[in-house]
Amino acid sequence: MTIPLVVGNWKMNGGLAACADLAHATADLLSRQNSRAMVALAPPFTALGSVKNILIASDIKLAAQNCHWEESGAFTGEISAPMLRDIGCHFVIVGHSERRHQLYESDDMIARKLMAALKHDLRPILCIGETLSQRHRNETLKVIGAQLDAALKGLAKGAIDKLEIAYEPVWAIGTGQNATAEQIDQVHNSIREYLKNNFGSSAGESVRVLYGGSVKPDNASMLARIATVNGLLVGGASLNAESFVKIVASFSPTVN
Ligand code: PGA
């Protein structure tokens, strides 16, 4: 059975001291918590090295929030996948909606980032999700399918279980309005169906499909109980160690 994954995406928050405090507090509380979930933390680039040193004694994995598709070169301000591997990252978030919408990352850029991550032994967490107007126009499943097509088009069949997928409806991110169990289940089922149709039935079963968008301690148990949810991508609530650890604990050691 798939081990659920809970990822804390700290976004552009925290200097070195604040990130160190949060990493210490999260690791400390998690060590006293029972959960069957694997946990990863994605601090800002500047804190990856120091947070890595704090997490070294724990099972918590290090994640980056983005990477470039090239290995090195004249790309001012960018960080490459081998650099992330070098600093100790295990995961990298790719295609987050804040990057798609505010920094105009295209499907093509996201596909290239995903391939670069895989090439350098990083597990990409591919984010996909519809905007509110796309949902209102009943285009959710079409949008999800197109995002998957674009990101996974170059992927060899055998490589599909080397990544995670996070369904994050754009309208649910940072808004306090999470998707309902029915909405999540419908999209997660369609992602699963897509994976089976394009990568074979066993591959389609092993890939984790996470949910993200206003995950909080008070909705985490409901989300963790949805059979098609294999983990959570947590933004705002991961900036508070107690809230984040409560969310992790919603995946109790025995299946809910
Ligand atoms: P949120 O962010 O939990 O603050 O809604 C989720 C995300 O952007 O991954």
Catalytic residues: 96, 168
Length of the chain: 256
Q: Whole-number mean pLDDT of the chain? A: 95
Alpha carbon distance 239, 249 (integer Å): 16
Tens of pLDDT along 72-101? Answer: 999 999 999 999 999 999 999 999 999 999
pLDDT bin (cut points 50, 70, 90) of residue 255 is low
pTM to 2 decimal places: 0.97
Q: Please name the residue whose Cα sits nearest to atom 1 of ligand 1.
A: 235
What pLDDT, on the 0 to 100 scale, is given for residue 1? Answer: 64
What pLDDT, on the 0 to 100 scale, is given for residue 151? Answer: 98
Q: Which CATH superfamily is domain 5-242 in?
A: Aldolase class I (3.20.20.70)
pLDDT bin (cut points 50, 70, 90) of residue 125 is very high
What pLDDT, on the 0 to 100 scale, is given for residue 119? Answer: 97
Domain spans of the chain? Answer: 5-242
Tens of pLDDT along 176-189? Answer: 888 999 999 999 99
Percent of the chain with pLDDT over 90: 90
Q: Please name the residue whose Cα sits nearest to atom 7 of ligand 1.
A: 235
> From the CA of 93, how far away is ligand 1's center (Å)?
12
Which pair of structure tokens corresponds to residue 191?
């992602």
Which pair of structure tokens corresponds to residue 193?
């169906």
> From the CA of 166, how far away is ligand 1's center (Å)?
11
Nearest-atom index, ligand 1, CA of 214? 5
pLDDT at 16 over 70: yes
pLDDT bin (cut points 50, 70, 90) of residue 155 is very high
pLDDT at 5 over 90: yes
Q: Is the CB of 80 under 6 A from ligand 1?
A: no
Q: Is the CB of 212 under 6 A from ligand 1?
A: yes
Alpha carbon distance 71, 49 (integer Å): 19
Q: Is the CB of 179 under 6 A from ligand 1?
A: no
Q: What is the mean pLDDT of residues 172-179?
A: 91
> From the CA of 79, how far away is ligand 1's center (Å)?
22
> From the CA of 232, how far away is ligand 1's center (Å)?
10
pLDDT at 204 over 80: no
Q: What is the mean pLDDT of residues 27-34?
A: 94
pLDDT at 256 over 60: no
pLDDT at 198 over 90: yes
Antiparallel, parallel or unpaired: β 231-234 and 208-212 = parallel
